[in-house]
Amino acid sequence: MTMFNYESTCLYTKYNNLDRKVIYFMTKKVAIIVTNEFEDIELTSPKEAIENAGFETVIISDTANSEVVGKHGEKVTVDVSIADANPEDYDALLIPGGFSPDYLRGDTEGRYGTFAKYFTKNDVPAFAICHGPQILIDTDDLKGRTVTAVLNVRKDLSNAGANVVDESVVVDKNIVTSRTPDDLDDFNREIVKLLED
């Protein structure tokens, strides 16, 4: 018999009628919310950095097992539909830029903003680059937070109460934001650093 005890992060097993306790490490899971016309490298580069650091990524969009296609043709398979996604199953959130965040905000049920709110409200790491911080507006949790983004999103972030700065990467507690693909090295570094804490 094997059972998980998440509180002590140990795995208990029964072997030859002896109870044994085995220490195990749960891999952190990062949810990536995305749809068509994402900025390709703003998904692929952080995803690769996260996975190379030993963490798991899960693509979340409208329909599981479908493909979403980036602005430059990159295709990724959706692992979990937003309807079935429970934010409590994830240790962090990544929101790539491109046109994808604007499309996600157009979801008639507001599911992506609601999903993201779990992370901002509960101080769970949330990473957003370029147009990605638009989704954070829908959480209503940006007042007083310091963020950055691509130029044409900054006014909206400011109107949502955020302190907007023009820096390659900004870390405000659990929220990490960057401006453009030119900032990916800094963005990826801070993502991995926060995940490893």
What gap in Å lies between CA 193 and CA 197, rounded to an integer? 6
The active-site residue, picked from 131, 145, 154, 179, is 131
Which two structure tokens, joined as six digits, stand for 9?
């992060």
The β-bridge partners of 14 are: 19
What gap in Å lies between CA 133 and CA 149, rounded to an integer? 6
Give 60-126 as a DSSP string: EESSTT-EEE-TTS-EEE--EETTT--GGG-SEEEE--BSHHHHHHT-TT-HHHHHHHHHHHTT--E
Instruction: Examine the residue annotation and report whether 130 is marked as an active-site residue of this protein.
Output: yes
The β-bridge partners of 171 are: 176
42 close to 132: Cβ distance less than 8 angstroms? yes
The active-site residue, picked from 93, 129, 130, 169, is 130
Number of Cβ atoms within 10 Å of the Cβ of 83? 11
Instruction: Examine the residue annotation and report whether 10 is marked as an active-site residue of this protein.
Output: no
Catalytic residue annotation: 130-131
